[in-house]
Amino acid sequence: MGLGTCSGGSNPGDTRYTINGLDPELSSTFQGRPPYRKAEPTKPGEPPATALDGDIPKGYPPAFLLCGSRDMCLSQTVVLHRKLRNAGVEADLNVFEGMWHFFWVNPELPEAHEAMAALANFFNHHLEE
CATH number at residue 112: 3.40.50.1820
- Amino acid 51: pLDDT: 76
Question: By three-state DSSP, how is residue 94 classified?
Answer: strand
Structural domain harbouring 99: 3-128
Higher pLDDT, 2 or 82: 82
Mean pLDDT of 4-24: 66
Bridge partners of residue 3, in order along the sequence: 64
pLDDT band for position 3 (cuts 50, 70, 90) = very low
Tell me how far apart the alpha carbons of residues 118 and 93 are, in angstroms, rounded to a whole number: 11
Number of structural domains in the chain? 1
**pLDDT mean across residues, the chain:** 80
- Segments in 4-95 forming alpha helices (H): 15-18, 28-31, 74-86
Tell me how far apart the alpha carbons of residues 126 and 42 are, in angstroms, rounded to a whole number: 32
- Amino acid 4: pLDDT: 52
Bridge partners of residue 92, in order along the sequence: 64
- Amino acid 73: pLDDT: 85
> For 91, phi and psi rounded to 5 degrees?
-135, 125
Nearest one of 94, 100, 113, 68 to 3, comparing CA atoms:
94
